[in-house]
Structure 1
Amino acid sequence: MNNLQKWTSLLGRIFLSTVFIKSGIGKILDPASAQQYMASAGIPGWLLFPTIAVLLIGGLSVLVGYKARYGALLLIGFLIPSTVIFHNLFADASQEIAFMKNLGLIGGLLMIYSFGPGSISFDGKNINYD
């Protein structure tokens, strides 16, 4: 792995994880709105706490590169059903941008799962890129 790849892997993880960490913190700061939004899609309010946990644990895992592949899988497991439930293209065409954004996030997470977090990470010392 060359020097540019080391730093772009880190930068990519920072950008990617920020989406999930910010979302988790937003749900902590305004749980009533989050539960109301969930209820509008038929999701029970008690799932808010596990949702926050998944967003923060997965996001922080990807950010610092500790068990980043597991963190990426956790977030993919969250994104697939939430994309279908909240951004259903077939029910509401106006959801296309959010749907496509989530596909892009899933793509980035699949790359972390496939190639690892890079050498500037807690996992980096255990990865052989050759």
Structure 2
Amino acid sequence: MSTIAAIIGRILIAALFVLAGIPKIIDPSGAAQMLQSANLPGNLAQPVGIFEVVAGLLLALGFMSRLVSILLFGFTLLTVFFFHNQFGDPLQAAMALKNVAIAGGLLMVFAYGHMVWGYDRMRAARRGEREAADANARAHDAELRAARAEGRAEAVEGAPVARRRVLDRDGDGHVG
């Protein structure tokens, strides 16, 4: 049950960024004005929107979830620093608190997000399966070499006496 909750939580946090980024891509003028009011270049609106959408989708899919969650964590805290820093205003304080809570959720994804369903986990599982298959193949090859060596040893033991003397190095009458 906790796995399902973690997946749903990760998708809901990701949806927040995707839905916030789409308007910045479609019509960046509003976001550009907001950026300029914070003394930031207005032409960052579309790149920020693209970052939010791409990072949100990667987070939802569980692809590079640790990296993406820490990048979004920093992005969210920068949002508090640049846009919601008027703590005397109740609305701004509430927005800052909301972003801090989102940052906390992103830290949880960073800490535990790689443990549940996602592309990274599937890739790691496939890597483990590949390593196990390689280990089995090496063990099989070692068994074949041992069986061939055993077969050669049995063939030498059954060889005529003259041949055994050639291979009898210590002179005790036994090969080996």
Range class of TM-score, shorter chain? 0.7 to 0.9
For residues 82 and 10 of structure 2, the distance between their equivalents in structure 1, rounded to whole angstroms, comes to 26
For residues 85 and 31 of structure 1, the distance between their equivalents in structure 2, rounded to whole angstroms, comes to 18
For residues 117 and 57 of structure 1, the distance between their equivalents in structure 2, rounded to whole angstroms, comes to 18
1:36-89 CA distances to partner (integer Å, 9 max, x unpaired)?
111111111121232123211221111000001111011112111111110003
What residue is the counterpart of 2:93 in the other structure?
A: 96
Count of residue pairs the alignment pairs up: 124
In the alignment, structure 1 segments of 5+ residues that lack a partner are none
For residues 88 and 9 of structure 2, the distance between their equivalents in structure 1, rounded to whole angstroms, comes to 32
Q: Is 1:69 equivalent to 2:62 in the alignment?
A: no
Structure 1 counterpart SS, 2:40: coil
Return the index of the structure with the highest Cα Rg: 2
Report how far residue 93 of structure 1 moved. Answer: 4.2
For residues 112 and 29 of structure 1, the distance between their equivalents in structure 2, rounded to whole angstroms, comes to 29
Amino acid at match of 1:23: A
For residues 25 and 110 of structure 2, the distance between their equivalents in structure 1, rounded to whole angstroms, comes to 27
1:38-117 maps to which residues of 2 (within 5 A)?
A: 38-90=35-87, 92-117=89-114
8 Å CA contact 1:54, 1:74 repeated in 2:
no
% identity of equivalent residues: 33
Give me the CA root mean square deviation: 1.7
Which piece of structure 1 moves more, 5-14 or 18-27? 5-14
What residue is the counterpart of 1:5 in the other structure?
A: 2
Structure 2 counterpart SS, 1:88: coil
For residues 100 and 32 of structure 1, the distance between their equivalents in structure 2, rounded to whole angstroms, comes to 26
Q: Which is bigger in relative contact order (C-alpha 8 A, separation at least 6)?
A: 1
For residues 32 and 91 of structure 1, the distance between their equivalents in structure 2, rounded to whole angstroms, comes to 28
Q: Is 1:124 equivalent to 2:121 in the alignment?
A: yes
What residue is the counterpart of 2:30 in the other structure?
A: 33
